[in-house]
A = this chain, B = another copy of it.
Amino acid sequence: MPERGRPRTFDRAAALRRAMEVFWAKGYEGASLSDLTAAMGINSPSLYAAFGSKEALFLEATELYTRVEGTEIWSALEKAPTARQAIEWFLRQTAKAYSQTGRPQGCLIALGALHQDSSCGAICDDLRRRRAENREALLRRLERGVAEGELPADFDCGTAATFYATVQHGMSIQARDGASRSALLETVAGAMAAWIAMAGTGAA
């Protein structure tokens, strides 16, 4: 069923990816329509026809970010054979992703919109929800470790999930400050040192 009317002359998916990069680098409020249209290679009427509004474009961009940029970080959680390795791989992939050159540093979900009082309530709510989901994913993996007997029954999964999620948020700010990969890995080393004490299981 071919579409009616004049066909679109730009690649919607490619334009969305460019928009994601602009939001990633500048945040929701810091990214102006001029920034977006310039990066996307289109005029504002095309943007509004294809995406609806700046807010809707941002929500699509974060969805793309979650689906594309976060896969290596979060798939590590599932692939790792133990909870301990899951957390360590998760943090190491974070350090790697946050220090890659040629793209914005840190995480769009963590840094995209932190000041609720502005006119971006829905944006802040969406990012907050995604951050909460990240903690939930950590929590589930830790609880699996308890269920499988890797971790003691009294292991405090909630505390550990909160802690590691918070460490990852901090790494976004660290990365924005220009931290090298080795500096980010120092944070990982510190966070994994906590594991030893929390789980009572040594060995590196």
Query: Given contacts A111-B115, A115-B25, is CB(A187)–CB(B174) below 8 Å?
Result: no
Contact of A159 among B29, B160, B177, B189 (CB under 8 A): B189
Which residues in B have their C-beta under 8 angstroms from that of A114? 27, 106, 111, 114, 173, 176
A177 to chain B, nearest CB (A): 5
- CB of A121 within 8 A of chain B? no
Note all chain B residues with C-beta closer than 8 A to A132: 177
Among A118, A168, A169, residue most surrounded by chain B Cβ atoms (within 10 Å)? A169
Count how many chain A residues have C-beta atoms less than 8 Å from C-beta atoms of the other chain: 47
Distance (whole angstroms) from the CB of A20 to the closest CB of chain B = 15
Structural contact, B177 and A163, CB atoms closer than 8 A: no
B169 touches A173 (CB 8 A): yes
Q: Are B169 and A27 in contact (CB under 8 A)?
A: no
Residues A166 and B171 in contact, CB atoms below 8 Å apart: yes
- The segment from A7-15, A44-52, A54-62, A193-201 that touches chain B is A193-201
Interfacial chain B residues near A168, Cβ < 8 Å: 170
Contacts of A160 in B (CB 8 A): 190
**A80 on interface, CB distance cutoff 8 Å:** no
- Asked if A74 is at the interface of the complex by the 8 Å CB criterion, the answer is no
Chain A contact residues, CB within 8 Å of chain B: 25-27, 29-30, 106, 110-111, 114-118, 128, 131-132, 158-160, 162-174, 176-178, 183, 186-187, 189-191, 193-198
List the 6 closest pairs (A to B, CB-CB), nearest first: A163-B190, A170-B170, A194-B194, A166-B170, A193-B197, A169-B170
> A162-B183, A193-B193 are known contacts; what are 16 more A-B pairs with Cβ within 8 Å?
A26-B115, A26-B118, A110-B173, A111-B114, A116-B176, A160-B190, A162-B174, A163-B186, A163-B191, A164-B190, A165-B174, A166-B190, A169-B173, A172-B173, A190-B191, A197-B197
A-B contacts, 9 of them at CB < 8 A, read: A25-B117, A106-B114, A164-B190, A169-B170, A169-B174, A190-B194, A191-B194, A193-B194, A193-B197
